[in-house]
Amino acid sequence: MTPTRIACTLALVCSALSLTVPALPAVAREPSAAAPASKDGLPDVRRRAQDTPFAFRGIALGITLDEFRAGSKVRATPVGSVPVCETDVQAGALGMRLKSHESLTVACRWAHRGDNGWALSQAVVDGAPAAEHVLRFARTERQSGGQSGGQSPLRLYEISFVIDEVTAEDLRDALAERYGPPRHATQNVSAPGALPVYVWENAVSSITLCFLPGTRNGTLTYLLKGSDAWVKSVVRQWQASDAEAG
């Protein structure tokens, strides 16, 4: 399991991880979470958000991979970064070919071309560079035909980041101001294994912010509800179709 995958898994299970964020030039502050609408309009914003998937700086959960690639919303530094996508490592471990057009699960990260070739960029969260990031896509179902044209589109179901503690604290306040108090909040860290976790959710998605002990880092995860069962179903469909083909 790669360090990147470990970091993204931590965003879901809130386990300990030791990562540091290198110093980079200041980046413009994130408008979507850090600059909420005026207080007079907040009730309407929150009401409209109840049935709409959460979005990270304009990149909404549920969009297709084609929409993501075609959009101009690159939330990473340095300037000129582009999304680089390939078969998700968890699917690659099952035998799916990397960079295959028939992949059922795909992971995307922003990257840029430097003097020595391509290098991983850093996503910008609340105006600061994240240590790790990944955007995960999966097909809703495997359709007949066997070709990419006969498959359902890949849709964004998870966006995960590892961020520094100061950014996490600022983001916690910004999310609470934008969406209201978290539906779930665990702040007691004195009990063994307890971590500070804050969860905002609506009918179709959730945002989870988790503070990791000992690392001065946090994990931030945007997730479509039911996506775990959805992805497992996709994998089972792939395994069944592969067995039939053999």
pLDDT in tens, 182-217: 988 876 545 555 678 999 999 999 999 999 888 889
Q: Give the pLDDT confidence score for residue 16 in this predicted structure.
A: 32
Q: For residues 165-185, give the mean pLDDT.
A: 93
Report for 143-147, 158-162, 215-219, 222-226: range of highest mean pLDDT: 158-162
The number of CA neighbours under 13 Å toward the Cβ of 197 is 17
pLDDT value of position 22 = 30
Residue 115's pLDDT band (boundaries 50, 70, 90)?
A: confident
Distance CA 107, CA 64 (A): 13
Mean of pLDDT over the chain: 74
Residue 60 has pLDDT above 90, yes or no: yes
Which has the minimum average pLDDT: 9-23, 147-161, 176-190, 228-242?
A: 9-23
117-142 confidence digits (pLDDT tens): 889 999 999 999 999 999 999 887 65
